[in-house]
Amino acid sequence: MSIVLTPRAISRLVQIQQKDSNPSLALRLSVESGGCHGFQYTIGLSDNVDPEEDVVFTDEDTGAKVVMDEPSLELLKGSTVDFTQELIGSQFKVLNPMATSSCGCGTSFDIKL
């Protein structure tokens, strides 16, 4: 199973690590029940990794990392993490090939199990 980080997401994560002087800072991505389509993404920054419960994806060239728990990985396998900048703001965004539908803002999705 894998997660792909776009060059924009990698660049932003490296900027955040450098600004905070914290090379262990990672993007934590998880899925929770809720939202208008059944599941919702939770995206945040973390430097805590539990080796027994977390899976870490690291860009070999820059050290940019995405961390997620096993149950979330099952719902996100094959996803791409991007960083978008729009007039209304900037955000990390998940492009999930397993999602069958999503809300307009992209934080809630449905999946065919």
| Domains of the chain as residue ranges with CATH | 4-104 (2.60.300.12)
Report the distance separating Cα 81 and Cα 112, nearest Å. 20
- Per the document, the length of the chain is 113
Query: Which one is predicted more confidently, 1 or 40?
Result: 40
Here the tokens at position 74 are 């099952």
pLDDT tens digits for range 45-100: 999 988 888 999 989 999 899 999 988 888 888 899 999 988 788 889 888 887 76
d(CA 38, CA 47): 28
